[in-house]
Amino acid sequence: MGGLACAWIGDSKPVASEVPDILLLAGSVRASKLVEAAGRSVLDLPLTPRLTLLEQWGAHLSTVRNTLPGARMRLMLDDRAPLPTGQLPDLLGTLTIERDPVPFRGTGGLLSDVVRASNPNGRIVFVDAAQVLGVDLLKLMQQMMESSADVVLTADQEGRAIGVSAVKCSTLLHVPEIGFVDFKEQVLPSLRARGGRVQVLRLPGTPAMPVRDAQEYLAAARRFERLEHGPDASHTDSRSAFSQFKVVEAGATVDSTARIYDSIVLAGATVERDARVVRSVICSGARVRHGERVMDQVVTGLRRFSLSRA
């Protein structure tokens, strides 16, 4: 960490920029109902029939690695988060998967623990893995590295926080070595009290979509389809008022007469003849019976609950 590299933004001249470590944070104090229902890491959830959230990050990180080969990349999981089973062969030898060194430390505590042996003059970029990023991570990192602020946060035009931030390692040396330390609630106020500088980059459009619950997951997958295929990708079926957006993961069984609207069917699920699934997530082991109607639900092999409660 702390080396120099030349980076290009669009057609601009090369800019000398610091090469930070990148932490992809995929832990949580408590497993979400979505993760429990799906029975897998949030990173293994599909955005398309053959592309997972992890693979979306793999594409971003490969672009960073190709331009900034000195960047270290670390996927951080807490002791309760399930390990992702997906593979990123393009990042072998570059991306490491690690458990948080100390449990229940909070984001501020985790960052401090991770960088204590690093160059205090360096910086790290930390990213919330449970989101679909709709902007180029490399270009966003380059913008953040051009700032002289101690901490650079990102937000949309409405001021809603985006889970991509940069922080100087020296800022984290003041974090207590023991106990839970939240980054926003404790580290930032302490920094400001010492005269530190925090900058917020406002990003246009919809720069990111979180994936913390089932409703957000559906919205993020729908948004990803539009990013990949244009705004008309999720068109409306002439026979129905519902969007025809759907993700049927490889390994799911869906009868040709079934209708799937604005829904995701995971591998190992079954949707039988003449069934209708609307705004729902059908998980592995679940079965939607012949002629059944499922709307605004998360369905597992054992139970069903409202989409709004997942």
- At a CB cut-off of 8 Å and minimum separation 6, what does 232 contact? none
Q: How far is it, in rounded angstroms, from Cα 12 to Cα 178?
A: 45
Cα–Cα distances in angstroms (integers) from residue 217 to residues 6, 82, 105, 212, 279, in the given order: 36, 18, 27, 7, 11
Q: Considering the domain 4-208, what is its CATH architecture?
A: Alpha-Beta Complex (3.90)
CB atoms < 10 A from the CB of 287, how many? 15
Residue 242: pLDDT band with limits 50, 70, 90: low
Length of the chain: 310
Residue 283: pLDDT band with limits 50, 70, 90: very high
Q: How far is it, in rounded angstroms, from Cα 116 to Cα 137?
A: 25
DSSP label at residue 183: I
CB atoms < 10 A from the CB of 213, how many? 19
Half-sphere exposure of 198 (CA within 13 A, CB side): 16
Residue 5: pLDDT band with limits 50, 70, 90: very low
- At a CB cut-off of 8 Å and minimum separation 6, what does 113 contact? 100, 101, 102, 105, 177
pLDDT at 125 over 90: yes
Residue range 1-21: average pLDDT? 42
Residue range 83-101: average pLDDT? 91
pLDDT of residue 16: 38
The model carries a pTM of 0.86
Q: How far is it, in rounded angstroms, from Cα 141 to Cα 169?
A: 16
pLDDT of residue 10: 33
pLDDT at 138 over 80: yes
pLDDT at 277 over 60: yes
pLDDT of residue 244: 81
Asked if residues 217 and 281 have their Cβ atoms less than 8 Å apart, the reply is yes
- Mean confidence (pLDDT) of the chain: 87
Per-residue pLDDT tens for 155-181? 999 999 999 999 999 999 899 999 999
pLDDT at 235 over 60: no
Percent of the chain surpassing pLDDT 90: 70
pLDDT of residue 155: 96
pLDDT at 123 over 60: yes
CB atoms < 10 A from the CB of 276, how many? 19
Q: Per the structure block, which two tokens stand in for 186?
A: 């404790």
In the chain, which ranges are continuous DSSP H helix? 33-38, 53-67, 106-115, 137-145, 188-193, 214-229
Choose among 287, 214, 277: nearest CA to 244: 277
pLDDT of residue 7: 31
Asked if residues 276 and 237 have their Cβ atoms less than 8 Å apart, the reply is no
pLDDT at 81 over 50: yes
Residue 3: pLDDT band with limits 50, 70, 90: very low
Dihedral of alpha carbons 58, 166, 34, 81, sign: positive
Phi, psi (deg, nearest 5) at residue 197: -115, 130
Residue 225: pLDDT band with limits 50, 70, 90: confident
- In the block, tokens 């580290």 appear at 187
Cα–Cα distances in angstroms (integers) from residue 3 to residues 10, 17, 18, 69, in the given order: 22, 9, 6, 10
pLDDT at 231 over 60: no
Secondary structure class of 151 (helix, strand, coil): strand
DSSP label at residue 251: T
Region label for 51, one of left (φ > 0), alpha (ψ between -120 and 50) or beta (otherwise): beta
